[in-house]
């Protein structure tokens, strides 16, 4: 795992945006697994600027939402897929059929997971992920097997608390569906993103501790093409 640290969130996002543009230009049909939440938003905004400047096109790309909350209507603003739409997809030229999301509103969730695994197929060219305060990746909570594929998960209390911030005052969901560790570890390239002082402790454990399923993000330390992208606050304990 490589580590790159930037002086501000602005320079962090602009550098990640440039790298993303390079990947799109080199491989227009790139297959990306993309996290929702607050951390990737500045990077997605940089990509929207690149698209508007004519430097990037998503017309042949495919994007998979990393995870999705249960208990939310399809049009709920707190859904992960809708967060990705607001910060990126509503503003670029990705064809609607090239965006895959997890239909947690369906009754047969086993089939939803199986269909997602089938769509993932040979895997991701790039996974853009955040780090949870407990070290989770997506909704792969501590203790998740490295062999897990797309699956339903009961959220850790820390993850429920985090989800509450996206619910506009409503009750946070207590379960979700996530792409599993098997797919994330098999991605050809992984960008692990973290910003802010609150992430400094878990970043230190991920970057310096022993890889363990108790801290799912730490399992990426042995990935041959994983880079940890930090601002100075998130890197404060390294």
Active-site residues, by number, are 67, 134, 136, 141
DSSP codes of every residue in 65-90? ESEEESS--TT-TTSHHHHHHHHTGG
How many whole angstroms separate alpha carbon 166 and alpha carbon 168? 6
Cα–Cα distance for residue pair 227/19, rounded to 1 Å: 12
Based on its alpha-carbon atoms, the radius of gyration of the chain, rounded to whole angstroms, reads: 17
The C-alpha atoms of residue 234 and residue 223 are separated, in whole angstroms, by: 21
What's the rounded Cα separation, in Å, for the pair 182 and 213? 12
Residue whose tokens read 């042995």: 222
**Cα–Cα distances in angstroms (integers) from residue 172 to residues 25, 48, 158, in the given order:** 39, 29, 11
Question: Taking Cα atoms as reference points, which of 195, 218, 159 lies closest to residue 41?
Answer: 195
CA distance readout (Å), 238 to 13, 47, 105, 136, 214: 20, 29, 41, 19, 20
Count Cα atoms within 13 angstroms, Cβ side, for 45: 11
């Amino acid at each position: 795992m490589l580590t790159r640290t930037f002086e501000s969130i602005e320079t962090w996002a602009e550098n990640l945006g440039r790298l993303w543009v390079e990947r799109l230009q080199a491989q227009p049909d790139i297959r990306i697994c993309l996290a929702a939440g607050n951390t990737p938003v500045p990077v997605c905004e940089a990509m929207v600027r690149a698209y508007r400047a004519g430097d990037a096109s998503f017309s042949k790309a495919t994007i998979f939402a990393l995870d999705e909350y249960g208990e939310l209507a399809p049009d709920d603003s707190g859904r992960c897929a809708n967060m990705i739409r607001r910060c990126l997809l509503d503003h670029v030229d990705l064809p609607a059929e090239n965006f895959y999301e997890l239909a947690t509103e369906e009754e047969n969730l086993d089939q939803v997971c199986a269909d997602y695994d089938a769509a993932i197929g040979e895997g991701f060219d790039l996974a853009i992920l955040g780090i949870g305060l407990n070290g989770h990746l997506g909704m792969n909570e501590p203790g998740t097997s490295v062999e897990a594929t797309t699956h339903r998960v009961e959220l850790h209390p820390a993850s429920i608390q985090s989800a509450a911030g996206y619910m506009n005052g409503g009750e946070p969901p207590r379960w979700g569906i996530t792409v599993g560790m098997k797919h994330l570890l098999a991605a050809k390239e992984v960008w692990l993103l973290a910003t802010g002082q609150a992430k400094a402790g878990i970043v230190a454990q991920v970057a310096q501790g022993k890889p363990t399923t108790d801290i799912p993000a730490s399992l990426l330390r042995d990935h041959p093409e994983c880079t940890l992208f930090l601002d100075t606050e998130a890197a404060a304990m390294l």
